[in-house]
Structure 1
Amino acid sequence: MQVIYNGICHLGEALEGATKVFVVCDSSYPFLNIKHDIENMGKPYVLFSDFTPNPVYEDVCKGIELFHITKCDSILAVGGGSAIDVAKCIKLAVLAKEGNATLIPPLVSKCVECDGAKMPFIAIPTTAGTGSESTHNAVMYFEGAKQTVTNDGVLPDYAILEPSVLKTLPLYQKKCTMMDALCQGIESWWSVNSTEESNEYSRKTIELIMGNWYKYIFENDDEAAAQIMLAANYGGKAINITATTAAHAFSYKITSLYKLPHGHAVAVGLPEIWEYMIANMNKCIDSRGRDYLSDIFVEISAAMGCNSPKDAIAMFRQMMDEMKLVNPVAVNRDEELKVLSTSVNSVRLKNNPVRIGETTAYSLYEKIVH
């Protein structure tokens, strides 16, 4: 069972029993207000930050090698989703008997044995978006292809939520990461894999974001930041149960083609996909049925403070407009739409409650890409 601590003051408790700490951190680390706390944690440590924002297999291998050389016995990840994902990959490769091969095809799609209890793992997120600190998933790239690494053994034992780290985040990054969290909350709720537990996490995610987003983005309010960080954590817990759906499936190629950050790429697609699903309930593939899904759409809308799904979609678009998060603009539209519609992540689409085929994907991208 994962332990959530509120505040960097709990770092010592989380590290109890560790003798040498492998600190995985991203480029934001030198500027963090908690850098002093980490450097004075009272344990010998080794820093590893030699990876790109979209980490590749070779980056992870450098971390694995350094972990072995320095004989560390625990991992502390400090950063955004990429840093935490790299730390997860390192832990899996170090503990699994298959080693580095667990991270690449064909083993990456299998659940290899990994006893996570053998290596304490603490995650301190420095953005409020992916909720990666509370999921058993990680993303990295191998030979240009995105790989999702999934294993219960890489779920951090401890997550430390310290909202003060959000204070100095660039504004655009705050917007993108927050919208990723909101999309995760919404998608998890309508996922075919949703449960009562995941729905409650989704509700908390959405309600906290809707109640605090404006102060967080436009006023840099401390209490709002704490609530948004908590929301992102709930969003991570929700998708850890359900996985994401069509909006995420559509986003990956948008990011690679138009260089939109992940959260921005997900958010431009979600209202179009939601609108399509409402108009095509006859294509519902959730075993719980159309009436169930219709009720879920109403519940999501209520959590957003809206009277109907139509109003909720309008509210979502209004938020995007106020934050000036615009849709991507094509250069060679016909060619790009073909690439996009044939590159949708099929695994994520299987979690979507309404069937979306390639022809439908093309028509949706026509609305998403301007």
Structure 2
Amino acid sequence: MANRIILNNVSYHGAGAIKAIPEEVKGRGFKKAFVCSDPDLVKFGVTAKVTSLLDAENLDYEIYSDIKPNPTIENVKTGVEAFKKSGADYIISIGGGSSMDTAKAVGIIIANPEFADVRSLEGCAATKNPAVPTIAVATTAGTAAEVTINYVITDVEKERKFVCVDPHDMAIIAISDPEMMSSMPKGLTAATGMDALTHAIEGYITKAAWEMTDMFHLKAIELIAKHLRGAVANTPEGREGMALAQYVAGMGFSNVGLGIVHSMAHPLGAVYDTPHGVANAIILPTVMEYNAPFTGEKYREIARAFGVKNVDNMSEEEYRTAAIAAVKKLSEDVGIPADLKEIVKSEDIEFLAKSAFADVCTGGNPRDTSVEEIKALYEKLI
């Protein structure tokens, strides 16, 4: 079996990386940008860090900010119509997963109008054409949406999120600039950082994992263990480390998939509007315990990446316990709640479990599961 790796054509990393945008735009002959960015980023001047560079070079653009934290089908449809009216020929997405996921769906539908209903994009849709050329600028160190072929849309009517996996949606240029992330508040920094850790751990143990993606995921875990606390404290080193870590994790999981931590987190976003990173962070240790018997020696390497000493002298049970304990300690240190008691209503668990089981991420979990077993995991967390 051949293993496939899909990455951006070009990516820029480090402080000041956004300064490369104008030359890329001019060099590619783009005329007008459709700038997708959420309202808060526009309000607090983060989006302007990029648009001011366009202004300085007299490069035309139009801003679209009708984007919710968990973008909806309606956000996408409105964005498609706005793009058509704008006269734009490329997209700049500025933000975390919400802005980038909206931009991906808009870009795909513009190039493949037969998917205009949005719902038909769920799973691995048979799109024929690459999305509108997109420059993706990350403002959070977590989703790695700038380097992935995945995006998630909320179906408000059916109270569910659905995952779309499409190589045609990949941004042609990714920008990972820690200076774009420095204004993130502590809570968001912690949540998105734990989202990145979930990507790295789930990608490392998923059924499709292989040597190259293992390399990405283990390095990401090491970087997150080293830098997330500093990023939450807003140190330059912490921001720089997490900007790289989340991108490296994205290089891996985008190509091999995830597991039931994400499957269980998606319904929480759809039903309760729970921030995705918070949901992942709360669920991760419990699912790690559940998956442990099906992970071989991988938890030893997770523990090693966290800096746990003497892992080679530990028994299988000891290094698995150590890996899970390291994840719990990091989550606690950055202020993530320990359980779902303040989020999940017991009467919703049946619906949540059925939604999670049907999620596209479930198939990648190292341990085959069932609706009943997922229900038990939710119940354990409340």
| TM-score w.r.t. length of structure 1 | 0.89
User: Per-residue displacement from partner, 1:142-177 (whole Å, max 9, x unpaired)?
Assistant: 333323222212100001111012222111111100
3-state SS in 2 of match to 1:156: coil
Distance in 2, Cα, partners of 1:182 & 1:163: 18
Contact between 2:299 and 2:323, CA under 8 Å: does it hold in 1? no
Which residue in 1 is equivalent to 2:105? 89
Note the C-alpha offset of 1:331: 8.5
User: Per-residue displacement from partner, 1:276-298 (whole Å, max 9, x unpaired)?
Assistant: 222xx3xx4xxxxxxxx312222
Change (3 A) 1:255 1:59: closer
- Within a 5 Å distance, the mapping from 1:38-49 to structure 2 comes to 38-41=51-54, 42=57, 43-49=59-65
Q: Say whether residues 1:223 and 2:230 are aligned partners.
A: no
Note the C-alpha offset of 1:109: 4.6
3-state SS in 2 of match to 1:344: helix
The answer for unaligned runs of 5 or more in structure 1 is 285-292
3-state SS in 1 of match to 2:322: helix
Which residue in 2 is equivalent to 1:349? 362
Note the C-alpha offset of 1:99: 4.7
Which residue in 2 is equivalent to 1:150? 165
Note the C-alpha offset of 1:30: 3.3
Code of the aligned partner of 1:269 = I
- Within a 5 Å distance, the mapping from 1:1-370 to structure 2 comes to 1-6=8-13, 7-15=17-25, 16=27, 17-27=29-39, 28-33=41-46, 35-41=48-54, 42=57, 43-101=59-117, 103-105=118-120, 109-116=124-131, 119-142=132-155, 143-144=157-158, 145-217=160-232, 219-278=233-292, 281=293, 284=294, 293-306=295-308, 307=311, 308-326=319-337, 327-329=339-341, 334-346=346-358, 347-369=360-382
Which residue in 2 is equivalent to 1:290? none
Distance in 2, Cα, partners of 1:59 & 1:321: 34
Give the stretch that moved more between structures: 254-263 or 331-340: 331-340
Contact between 1:18 and 1:120, CA under 8 Å: does it hold in 2? no
Change (3 A) 1:141 1:301: same
Note the C-alpha offset of 1:259: 4.3
Please tell me the root mean square deviation across aligned C-alpha atoms, in Å.
Answer: 2.1
Change (3 A) 1:137 1:322: same
Note the C-alpha offset of 1:324: 2.7
The answer for unaligned runs of 5 or more in structure 2 is 1-7, 312-318
Note the C-alpha offset of 1:10: 0.8
Note the C-alpha offset of 1:65: 1.3
Residue identity (%): 27
3-state SS in 1 of match to 2:62: strand
Distance in 2, Cα, partners of 1:57 & 1:24: 15
Give the stretch that moved more between structures: 183-192 or 327-336: 327-336
Contact between 1:29 and 1:79, CA under 8 Å: does it hold in 2? no
Contact between 2:161 and 2:267, CA under 8 Å: does it hold in 1? no
Distance in 2, Cα, partners of 1:271 & 1:147: 24
Distance in 1, Cα, partners of 2:297 & 2:166: 32
Distance in 1, Cα, partners of 2:344 & 2:325: 29
Code of the aligned partner of 1:312 = A
Contact between 1:111 and 1:150, CA under 8 Å: does it hold in 2? no
Give the stretch that moved more between structures: 36-45 or 294-303: 36-45
Change (3 A) 1:214 1:258: same
Note the C-alpha offset of 1:266: 1.0
Note the C-alpha offset of 1:29: 2.4
Change (3 A) 1:201 1:336: same
Distance in 2, Cα, partners of 1:67 & 1:109: 24
Give the stretch that moved more between structures: 259-268 or 33-42: 33-42
